[in-house]
């Protein structure tokens, strides 16, 4: 049988033929793809003609088409629907890819051509996006070791290969531990306090796992969070919480301690070979923040206001415990439970009141409606699309003039074959006239009806913002499309989209009761708005603590194999984290920073981008949340431009000035 990757995909929208692709096809396809790319690179490097922008830079941009085609399918499936065979292929391909990149950066003839063009860049009469492309590519090669001596290139290659293996293992271990734990409940005493909608999802999970007639909760965030909010049995809350924070740190083959310390040490070694004092210095040199000092300055600016608020929140929760006749000290597994009680008492608001208005299909359509009002986009369901899983839906996205903008896939439900969290990815990126195929993945509990909490509503709108960044891209060159921007800029489109989710005008449009169809009342909207900054001391503190922990792993220039417990405790003691709050992620399951290096020394980027999104949304509030001139400025300067220009220049073009941190502090109730 012919390998589907070696044939043109003639179906509608150029979707991969998922029904024809079998796991064994990937090995052959990757082998050929790497071979083809090597041949293309060699032809560019050995071209006897003098280097030009077209025969070197543009040629490189368009090389590796088969590799992009294969990897676009494979890595999406590994993240959203993996199995043992795919995991084995992933481990092999990660090493293959690492060596491929190392060979690319070690190609002296190729780098000489890039270097010569970079030296002449001011005289080449390049357009701004072309100059940005040349500058970025040159920087990528230098950061990849192209300017190193041969011996150092070999050292970097060996480090990269080992890191690829370790980072893949780290991710797979987290998935194994996440899937392994299950809290099985069978008696009314155990389920006391849990709402019917939560129990319905837990019953479905139990059926999936073969525990008929029971309720199963897991350490997936969509499962553990409602359990911690509502379960009255404190011992069970402690059990599931401890299982969550022990992920990747159990006495089994999935323990991540040795892997993550080796990752941190190898990253430091590589950075120092490349001329940086630490991995953090290396990573941040290619970010808007530029240095660890500037990151610390931002985090420190927010930390103290957050501590003032979280300490008051902790006192309020402790008083609630005492008021109920209990005498124990507030612990991390109590926070969500008593927060829900205080929220209900203070604002007359609880999840049971809220969730019936946030039926998943309605929330999804609400996001689509916002995009329509802002940018004129229309989302039409593609019936009978051939997709990779029955839970996935496809939407044909068209613009104001009916032109095809892209294909948007949504994959919202959790399953054992899907990694945790939520993300946006692409099966095909935009460039020139090629339109993208974008996917949003979440991990909502599958139930009928599927009702979302406010955090999950924010997650859906957040990932939709990333999706718009990919869908609305209008650039010439693939490497500049959509979300291919500096790491601490990529969260701006996603986080700004969250603001629309709870705007009264938007809620009236999409938040309708799942049973009665009645729109959400103004009274309930007012309660939601009033509670908007509630618990923000906790939310900000747990996030910042994880950001400080990320930096602690990556900013030390000293050679050391740090004990995980020692480093974590030292970091949390230094910032003065209160005992009732844990970092959002502890080291052994901190996938953002150890399952790949994209967010390493960069977890701060969410709060950096929040400075931008909070300040940016002020422009919409000042002019009207659906003001067309403001929306057009955001579209043309941010969403369409991708990485074709310096991000701060793009932001200034949209906003007319630099961002101000005060909007963030105000939004979080920390001012």
CA separation for the pair 143, 104 (Å, rounded): 12
Neighbours of 283 (CB within 10 A): 24
DSSP state of 51: P
How far is it, in rounded angstroms, from Cα 332 to Cα 70? 44
| H helices present in 81-119, as ranges | 84-105, 108-119
Torsion of CA 90, 94, 100, 106, to 10 degrees: 180
* Inter-residue contact 571 to 603 (CB < 8 Å): no
> Which tokens hold the place of 251?
């006495």
Q: Is the dihedral of CA 113, 118, 119, 123 positive or negative?
A: positive
DSSP reduced 3-state for 186? coil
Six-digit token string for 170? 């780290």
Residue 560 a catalytic site member: no
CA distance 626 to 628: 6
H runs (alpha helix) in 246-381: 257-273, 279-284, 292-323, 332-347, 351-354, 360-375
Question: CB burial class (10 A; 0-12, 13-18, 19+) of residue 124?
Answer: middle
Residue of 90, 167, 351, 463 marked catalytic: 463
- Strands 393-398 and 378-381 turn out to be antiparallel
The whole-angstrom separation of Cα 654 and Cα 220 is 38
Using CA atoms, how far apart are residues 157 and 119, in angstroms rounded to an integer? 26
**E strand or H helix at 394:** strand 393-398
d(CA 546, CA 557): 20
Cα–Cα distance for residue pair 449/515, rounded to 1 Å: 10
Classified as helix, coil or strand, 459 is helix
DSSP run (H or E) holding 199:
helix 196-208
Return the active site residues: 463
């Amino acid at each position: 049988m012919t390998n589907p990757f070696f044939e043109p995909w003639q179906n509608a929208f150029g979707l991969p033929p998922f029904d024809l692709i079998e796991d064994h096809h990937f090995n052959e396809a990757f082998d050929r793809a790497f071979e083809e790319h090597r041949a293309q690179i060699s032809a560019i490097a050995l071209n006897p003609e003098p280097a030009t922008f077209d025969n070197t830079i543009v040629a490189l941009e368009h090389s590796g088409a088969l590799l992009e085609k294969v990897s676009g399918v494979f890595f999406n499936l590994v993240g959203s629907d993996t199995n043992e065979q795919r995991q084995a292929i992933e481990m092999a391909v990660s090493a293959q890819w690492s060596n491929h990149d190392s060979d690319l950066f070690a190609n002296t003839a190729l780098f000489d051509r890039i270097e010569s063009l970079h030296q002449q860049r001011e005289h080449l009469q390049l357009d701004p996006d072309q100059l940005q492309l040349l500058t970025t590519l040159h920087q990528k090669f230098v950061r990849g070791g192209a300017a190193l001596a041969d011996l150092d290139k070999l050292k970097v290659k060996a480090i990269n290969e080992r890191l690829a293996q370790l980072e893949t293992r780290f991710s797979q271990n987290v998935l194994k531990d996440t899937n392994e734990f299950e809290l099985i409940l069978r008696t009314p005493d155990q389920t006391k306090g849990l709402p019917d909608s939560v129990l319905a999802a837990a019953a479905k999970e139990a059926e999936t796992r073969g525990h008929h007639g029971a309720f199963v909760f897991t350490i997936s965030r969509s499962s553990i969070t409602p359990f911690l909010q509502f379960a009255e049995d404190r011992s069970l809350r402690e059990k599931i919480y401890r299982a969550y924070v022990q992920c990747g740190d159990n006495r089994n083959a999935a323990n991540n301690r040795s892997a993550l310390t080796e990752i941190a040490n190898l990253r430091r070694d590589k950075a120092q070979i490349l001329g940086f004092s630490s991995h953090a210095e290396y990573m941040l040199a290619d970010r808007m923040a530029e240095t660890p000092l500037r990151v610390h300055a931002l985090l420190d600016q927010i930390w103290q206001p957050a501590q003032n608020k979280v300490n008051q929140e902790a006192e309020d929760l402790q008083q609630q415990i005492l008021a109920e006749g209990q005498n124990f000290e507030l612990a991390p597994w109590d926070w969500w439970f008593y927060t829900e009680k205080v929220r209900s008492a203070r604002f007359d608001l609880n999840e049971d009141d809220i969730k019936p208005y946030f039926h998943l299909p309605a929330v999804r359509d609400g996001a689509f409606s916002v995009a329509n009002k802002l940018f004129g986009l229309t989302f039409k369901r593609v019936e009978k699309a051939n997709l990779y899983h029955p839970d996935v839906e496809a939407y044909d996205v068209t613009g104001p003039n009916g032109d095809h903008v892209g294909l948007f896939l949504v994959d919202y439900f959790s399953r054992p074959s899907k990694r945790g969290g939520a993300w946006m990815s692409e099966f095909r990126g935009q460039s020139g006239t090629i339109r993208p195929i974008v996917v949003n993945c979440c991990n909502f509990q599958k139930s009928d009806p599927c009702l979302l909490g406010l955090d999950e509503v924010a997650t859906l709108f957040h990932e939709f913002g990333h999706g718009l960044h990919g869908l609305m891209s209008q650039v010439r060159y693939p490497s500049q499309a959509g979300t291919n921007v500096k790491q601490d800029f990529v969260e701006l489109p996603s986080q700004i989209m969250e603001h629309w989710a709870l705007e009264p005008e938007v809620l009236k449009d999409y938040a309708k009761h799942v049973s009665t169809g009645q729109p959400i009342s103004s009274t309930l909207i007012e309660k939601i708005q009033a509670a908007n900054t509630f618990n923000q001391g906790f939310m900000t503190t747990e996030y910042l603590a994880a950001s400080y922990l990320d930096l602690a792993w990556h900013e030390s220039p000293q050679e050391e194999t740090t004990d995980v417990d020692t480093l974590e405790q030292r970091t949390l003691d230094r910032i003065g984290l209160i005992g009732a709050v844990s970092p959002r992620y502890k080291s052994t399951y901190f996938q953002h920073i150890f399952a790949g290096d994209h967010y390493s020394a960069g977890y701060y980027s969410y709060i950096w981008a929040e400075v931008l999104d909070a300040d940016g949304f002020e422009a919409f509030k000042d002019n009207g949340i659906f003001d067309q001139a403001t929306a057009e400025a955001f579209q043309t300067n941010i969403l369409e431009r991708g990485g074709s220009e310096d991000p701060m220049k793009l932001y200034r073009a949209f906003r007319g000035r630099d961002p101000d941190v005060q909007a963030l502090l105000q939004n979080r109730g920390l001012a």
